[in-house]
Amino acid sequence: MQDIPELENCRLCEWQCGVNRLEGELGVCRIGRPKVASAVLHPAPPQSYTIFLSGCNFRCLGCQNWSIAHFPDTNETPRGYVEPKCLGEEAYDAVNSREGNFLGADRIFFSGGSPTPSLPYVEQVVREARKIGDIKVNYDTNGFLTVDSLKRVIEFTDSITFDIKAYHDDVHRALTGAPVEPVLRNARYLAENAREKLWEFRILLIPKISVGEIKPLVDYISGIDPTLPLNFLAFRPNFVLENYKGASKEFMEKAVRMAKEGGLENVDWSGRVGLPGRLSEKTSDKYENKGGEIAGGIAKEAGCVTHPRNCVACELEHECPIKNYRPAKKSI
């Protein structure tokens, strides 16, 4: 196993915890050394050999990959550490295999969780794969990187999928536990400095919670460049929001109309709609916007004690009720 000196004082994401992960110290992401959760040929655009990295620096209420993202606090056993040379060769061979060609795969896709806490490891894997031959790379991000880390990602990638959870800080905190400013800053930086690398911005739409986020996000993105690609993702019940109502087709289509009326030229939506559930009446008065009140109330009911949510300053940072939440039913 290769040591990664950067992990002795980890400042890869905007939490900038400064912990020595090689010696067992844990920051907000609670990841020690990088570990692979799984790797598989995947049809979702862009088609790829997708490597899921264990752990995440967010604690999202509606996480669809919660068993991966909340490692090491889940009971899931990841594949574990894989030597970069071995994983690079494996990924290159998979993309160029008969199955990969049939799928239309043309790149390695790093996802999670979040790959950012494992960024130096990702770079090692990419270098090893490219020693064999040319291959594209996609990086999936929640946007919570330092600017230096984002520059590194731009350097080795061919495409970047970039998630934005909300525009208002209180809503973003209620949903993720993290402030929104670094995410919006990085979205702008990417769009202005590496427009050709952006595969798409993605915005998850949650009934009631996301209603007040659509217009300001559209205005923010269109104000940078109206041709930037945007995909609205339909919320489906997951994790702490396992009983929450899924997004309707009408809601998704309305969001697309709003985006086009707001000046965006390249916008669509995707996902499964109309999934059953109920809209929560739980609210918290620690949030300014309605979406934050609802999401914050749900987080509070699940045991979150710091409001507005702020994972780095929480007394339960390493005993987080959200990370330790276990859905009663399987995600749809």
As annotated, the binding site for [4Fe-4S] cluster includes 56, 60, 63
Binding-site residue set: 56, 60, 63
| Token pair recorded at residue 247 | 């997004």
Q: Cα Rg for the chain, rounded, in angstroms? A: 19
C-alpha dihedral sign at 238, 269, 141, 209 = negative
Distance CA 178, CA 317 (A): 12
DSSP H/E element including 286: none
* Alpha-carbon distances, residue 186 vs 14, 116, 179, 238, 292 (angstroms): 11, 13, 13, 27, 22
Taking the C-alpha atoms of residue 240 and residue 32, their distance in angstroms, rounded to an integer, is: 25
Q: How many helices (H) and strands (E) does the chain have?
A: 10, 8
Give the C-alpha separation, 314 to 291, whole Å: 21
Nearest to 185 by CA among 156, 218, 230, 220: 220
CA distance 151 to 143: 12
C-alpha separations of 19 from 22, 24, 117 in Å: 9, 9, 12
259, 297 Cβ separation under 8 angstroms: no
Spatial separation of the C-alpha atoms in residues 51 and 91, rounded to whole Å: 8
Question: Which of 107, 101, 175 shows the shortest CA–CA distance to 144?
Answer: 175
